């Protein structure tokens, strides 16, 4: 048994012990999403249209992330709608920013690895960069949507008579905590994955200007910004959609 297989087995056991049925669903959500990413990479390498893959796999990944990772149908439905709207909005932003950033492709750090290999594989590097940015921001957006929906519905169950205005106010307070947690998660994830590259910059005495114009750094920084903007848009939108949905349900029940 390889190290990776052993870690996957340990993860499955721990998620089952801690989360029970929800843990098992979450484990399969992670597994399926990993397989989907591998499938996307394979399809891109086979020359399938990248724009078409983005249109197909973004909703598919949101479904697996949210519906498999959440046991409450109402939370899942509200989170999916909010996350899908935000994902489309952020995707438009990504297309515009990536066009002006011109940071797609391979940086000089990859030169030694690619010696003797063609750097023109017949694929669109700008669209690959767009796809990477879109898929990278999905996790943060979906997580924020589920956290907001779960928190607000739990509050509604605890206080059935709470008004819509009070629920929105509580959503703003919950959203502050969600944004703070998401910010730390995204930033520490970036520093953890980019630590070796930062050491490269420091040891080779890169100036601030060189770092800010480095393709790898710019792409990673842009992905962080997309994720943060996605979370910032998700928090209020999820609150509004959930409160409106609860209000409509209450009006129907009164009739």
Query: Where are the domains positioned within the chain?
Result: 73-254
Residue-level pLDDT at 217? 80
- Rounded alpha-carbon distances, angstroms, from residue 176 to 87, 143, 232, 235: 20, 14, 10, 9
Question: Residue 36: CA atoms inside 13 Å, Cβ hemisphere, count?
Answer: 19
Residue-level pLDDT at 117? 53
Residue-level pLDDT at 21? 77
Residue 85 has pLDDT above 90, yes or no: yes
- Between the ranges 77-86, 119-128, 159-168, 246-255, where is the mean pLDDT highest? 77-86
Q: Which whole number is the average pLDDT over 171-183?
A: 82
Cα 74–chain centre separation? 21
Place of tokens 């796999």: 57
Least confident of 76-85, 105-114, 142-151, 176-185: 105-114
**Whole-angstrom Cα distance, residue 59 to residue 65?**
10
Q: What percent of the chain has pLDDT over 70?
A: 90
* Whole-structure pTM value: 0.84
Whether residue 167 contacts residue 151, with contact meaning beta carbons closer than 8 Å, is answered with no
Residue 251 has pLDDT above 70, yes or no: no
Residue 199 has pLDDT above 90, yes or no: no
**Whole-angstrom Cα distance, residue 11 to residue 143?**
19
């Amino acid at each position: 048994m390889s190290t990776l297989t052993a870690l996957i087995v340990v993860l499955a056991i721990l998620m089952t012990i801690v989360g029970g049925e929800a843990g098992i669903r979450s484990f399969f959500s992670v597994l399926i999403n990993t397989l989907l990413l591998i499938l996307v990479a394979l399809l891109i390498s086979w020359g399938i249209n990248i724009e078409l893959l983005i249109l197909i796999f973004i909703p598919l990944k949101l479904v697996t992330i949210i519906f498999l990772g959440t046991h409450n149908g109402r939370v899942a439905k509200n989170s999916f709608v909010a996350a899908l709207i935000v994902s489309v909005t952020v995707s438009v932003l990504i297309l515009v920013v990536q066009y002006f950033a011109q940071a797609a492709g391979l940086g000089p750090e990859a030169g030694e690895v690619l010696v003797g290999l063609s750097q023109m594989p017949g694929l669109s590097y700008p669209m690959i960069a767009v796809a990477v940015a879109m898929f990278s921001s999905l996790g943060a957006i979906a997580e924020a949507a589920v956290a907001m929906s779960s928190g607000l519905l739990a509050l509604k169950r605890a206080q059935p008579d709470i008004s819509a205005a009070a629920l929105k106010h509580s959503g703003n307070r919950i959203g502050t905590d969600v944004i703070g947690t998401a910010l730390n998660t995204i930033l520490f994830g970036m520093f953890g994955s980019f630590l070796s590259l930062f050491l490269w910059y420091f040891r080779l005495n890169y100036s601030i200007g060189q770092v800010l114009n480095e393709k790898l750094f710019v792409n990673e920084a842009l992905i962080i910004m997309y994720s943060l903007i996605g979370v910032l848009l998700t928090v209020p939108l999820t609150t509004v959609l959930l409160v409106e949905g609860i209000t409509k349900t209450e009006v129907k029940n009164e009739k």
